[in-house]
Structure 1
Amino acid sequence: MTELTSMINIGRELAKKLGSVGIGSAEELTRSGAEGAFLKLKEKYPNVCLVHLYALEGAICNLEFNSLPEGRKKELKEFSDFLKNFN
């Protein structure tokens, strides 16, 4: 099992939050996917934002979050906006 903090974009604070929602390794994050992990985080930490979602996707893809393709960022933003309708 690979530590979350070994992934790009995942600092100690985000790793701790991920661990608190049952995602404790890089492999578990990859299995959950960015959207799945973000949904779990959003349920426990309502203040997580779109940048967190970008960071998760970047970690899975091994990219700086600001280097994600524009099309993928648009999909992630739409997902985040969709979740706002339920708060």
Structure 2
Amino acid sequence: MKISQMKNLGEVNEAKLNQVGIMNSESLIRLGTEQAFLKVRDLVDDGACMNFLLALEGAIQDVPKKEITSERKTALQAFYRQVCSEK
């Protein structure tokens, strides 16, 4: 499936993911949220934000961002803070 057909991700995010070699939903799912985020942030968009991280997670889980569990959101927020502090 095309990335832009996944929940939360449109053509702009698909283009960013394609630029780092993530060409379809299967490769995004295989790579995982955190690794996909790091690839995009490090190679394409150093301003990638928490909303993008949540969009990736929602796409992988096939749910809207607002339906991601609070536990997973908390884990992703901690990951994001750590990544931002290393910049």
Q: Which category of TM-score, normalised to the shorter sequence, fits these structures? A: over 0.9
5+ long unaligned stretches in structure 1: none
Aligned residue for 1:35?
34
Provide, for residues 27-65 of structure 1, a one-character-per-residue CA deviation record: whole Å limited to 9, x for no partner.
000001000100101102111101100000000000101
Output aligned runs, 1:2-81, within 5 Å.
Answer: 2-44=1-43, 45-81=45-81
RMSD, aligned CA: 0.7
- Counterpart Cα distance in 1 of 2:29 and 2:2: 12
Deviation at 1:76, TM superposition (A): 0.4
TM-score (normalised: structure 1): 0.95
TM-score (normalised: structure 2): 0.95
Deviation at 1:6, TM superposition (A): 1.3
- Counterpart Cα distance in 1 of 2:30 and 2:67: 22
- Counterpart Cα distance in 2 of 1:39 and 1:11: 19
